[in-house]
Amino acid sequence: MSETRARRAGPRPTDAAIVGMGALFPGAEDLAAYWRNLVAGTDCITDVPPGRWDPEIYYDPQGAQGPARSDRFYCRRGGFLDDPAAFDPTRFGIMPAAVRGAEPDQLLALRTIADAIADAGGEERLPADRSRIGVILGRGGFMGVATARLDQRVRTAHQLAATLRELAPELGESRITAVREAFQAGLGPEQPEASIGLVPSFTAARTANRLDFRGPAYTLDAACASSLLAVAQAVDLLAAGRCDLMVAGAVHHCHIATLWSVFTQLRALSPTQHIRPFDRRADGTLLSEGTGVVLLKRLADAERDGDRVYAVVRGTGVAGDGRAAGLMSPRAEGQTDALEQAWAAAGLDPADPTALGLLEAHGTGTPVGDGVELDTLARVFGPPGAGVPPVGLGSVKSMLGHTMQAAGIAGLIKAALAVHHRTLPPTLHLDEPHEGLARTRMRPVTEAEPWDAGRAPLRAGVNAFGFGGINAHTVLEEAPGRRSPAAPPPQRAPSHRTAPLRTAEPERTVLLAADTPAQLADQLREMEDPGAATDTGAPVPAPAAAPDGPC
């Protein structure tokens, strides 16, 4: 495709516009905090809190040297939410007694979707016909904390009693029964009224029930590609005219010892306890948790309604690897198919010099995964060359760890905010670039910088590749009419600083300088209304959820 065609091609009226977003990730309880962390390069990886699993019991720093054991973990670092993340059940008409017995993903997904609605301008901006609103959420089939507690009550307690009868029969049946009952009592009271909080499909169903969404509402599991698969299906429903607004994203809140055991035995975790996407020293990933969602409308409807549009979904692609060396062995062929589908759907040539400015990679920090992904990027976007501009490369996992089913949406929200704010956020710990980068047009972004594509629209691509061989890619473009000079360079923060799990806007001293009193007055007005610099003429969302504040 020629450069001229790439510049002329624009979004279609039926393309999906991102009109609202909600984010709950390590170090960020809302969308504004997430963006602040992204721009500042905040490292949100920490040691595991004892409430998730006890390092005194499970952690073995020498465990990576010998045979894998299911009950010993050689890695103790990852991305964790504040415990517990704030959730007000009465806000949604949920009885407080039902909260403890439910999986947290159901409740935090509901909260994050409500945040996204507020970000889009509030309930009054939703379609009046609730049958035209749907929700698709990625959610893994892992055993969660509440389900594990029930399993202990139902099975483990009786297994304990059976073992005591076999090994210590002298205790007698009454003592063995007392041990079993004490074990069950330690798990807390029985809560049959909360059992619906254990059904995986209710992650989407509870949202539809509480918010009165009467369109399609379901969960899906495509491993690490889940959230981009949810976005792809939501985009299709909008384009087909079956819905007028879709919520799409994913949730992952599972840090129980069982899940860590699985990834320890797979040897997928970093033995040095650092996640370094696309770095020569990369030796594994780190587990994380989080929830992210986007609100999608057809672009024509968003423009008609005067919505603020973060970015437009130009194309999506989904493809499988087929037969590979193993279920854990990624193939560049499957990844390439997904990317080429998305760019074909967008009507764009990915190898065109003006086609892409940011590639938010899957970037897990595993040597094999990073190497295959770089091969894919070289195939799809072409090799470096004289006069061919490089593409900014990033991976949010360097800050958060791997959020599993929510990995794609963490990257998609990052990319949409980057387009909206015309800023390329940094990727951390990429000090010794992977040798495969030399075969690509990719340029790692290690410090936040303004993003200016000249006359071409800003575009970002987002990868999410699920183990087992499912691959997804999404192409984002800035909203029509939003093209303007790049944002000023963001204030540089100390590199790789670690934030507390709860973030707050700090007090600041600001030095202003101007040549005339009028220029100084303009600067003061911009400080009083920080959203004015990126105002699109759309309704201003609720202040608590708006990401346009000072970063």
Nearest to 421 by CA among 462, 393, 450, 453: 450
The verdict on whether omega for the bond into residue 506 sits within 30 degrees of 0, i.e. cis, is no
**The one-letter amino acid at 196:** I
Q: Please list the active-site residues.
A: 224, 362, 402
Q: Domain residues of the chain, as ranges?
A: 3-141+200-322+331-382+391-477, 146-195
Collapse the DSSP code of 542 into the 3-class scheme (helix H, G, I; strand E, B; otherwise coil) and give the result.
coil
Collapse the DSSP code of 529 into the 3-class scheme (helix H, G, I; strand E, B; otherwise coil) and give the result.
coil
**Secondary structure (DSSP) of 137-187:** EEE-----HHHHHHHIIIIIHHHHHHHHHHH-GGGHHHHHHHHHHHHHHTT
Dihedral of the CA atoms 109, 114, 115, 116 (nearest 10)? Answer: 90
Nearest to 214 by CA among 110, 129, 122: 129
Lookup: tokens for 460: 């970002």
Residue with tokens 């507020």: 118
Q: Which fold has domain 3-141+200-322+331-382+391-477?
A: Peroxisomal Thiolase; Chain A, domain 1 (3.40.47)
Residues constituting the chain: 551
**Residues with Cβ within 8 Å of residue 517, at least 6 apart in sequence:** none
Collapse the DSSP code of 54 into the 3-class scheme (helix H, G, I; strand E, B; otherwise coil) and give the result.
coil
Taking CA atoms, 469 is separated from 134, 252, 287, 325, in Å, by 27, 20, 19, 11
Interatomic CA distance for residues 486 and 468, integer angstroms: 40
Partners of residue 473 on adjacent β-strands: 317, 463
Q: What angle do CA 476, 480, 483 make, to 5 degrees?
A: 90
CA-based end-to-end distance of the chain: 38
**The one-letter amino acid at 169:** P
Interatomic CA distance for residues 128 and 308, integer angstroms: 19
**Residue 511, pLDDT score:** 41
Per-residue pLDDT 10s for the chain (551 aa) are: 444 344 446 899 999 999 999 999 999 999 999 999 999 999 999 999 988 889 999 999 988 888 888 899 999 999 999 765 567 777 888 777 667 767 788 889 999 999 999 999 999 999 999 999 999 999 987 767 777 777 788 888 899 999 999 999 999 999 999 999 999 888 887 776 566 666 777 889 989 999 999 999 999 999 999 999 999 999 999 999 999 999 999 999 887 888 899 899 999 999 999 999 999 999 999 999 999 999 999 999 999 999 999 999 999 999 998 987 777 779 999 999 999 999 999 999 999 999 999 999 999 999 999 999 999 999 999 999 878 899 999 999 999 999 999 999 999 999 999 999 999 999 999 999 999 999 999 999 999 999 998 889 999 999 999 988 999 999 999 999 866 555 555 554 444 444 433 333 333 334 444 445 555 555 555 555 444 433 333 333 333 333 333 22
Burial of 517 (0-12, 13-18, 19+ CB in 10 A): exposed
Interatomic CA distance for residues 36 and 362, integer angstroms: 21
Interatomic CA distance for residues 116 and 136, integer angstroms: 14
Quote the pTM value.
0.84
Q: What is the 3-state secondary structure (H, E, C) of 401-438?
A: CECHHHHHHHHHHHHHHHHHHCEECCCCCCCCECHHHH
**In contact, 359 and 463? CB cutoff 8 Å:** yes
What is the enclosing helix (H) or strand (E) of 358?
Answer: strand 358-360
Nearest to 133 by CA among 237, 220, 274: 237
Q: What is the DSSP letter of 547?
A: S
β-strand pairing of 133-139 with 311-320: unpaired
Burial 305-338 (b: 16+ CB within 10 A, else e): eebbbbbbbbbbbbbbbeeeeeeeebbbbbbbbb
Lookup: tokens for 485: 């000079």
Q: What is the 3-state secondary structure (H, E, C) of 438-507?
A: HHCCEEECCCCEECCCCCCCCEEEEEEEECCCEEEEEEEECCCCCCCCCCCCCCCCCCCCECCCCCCCCC
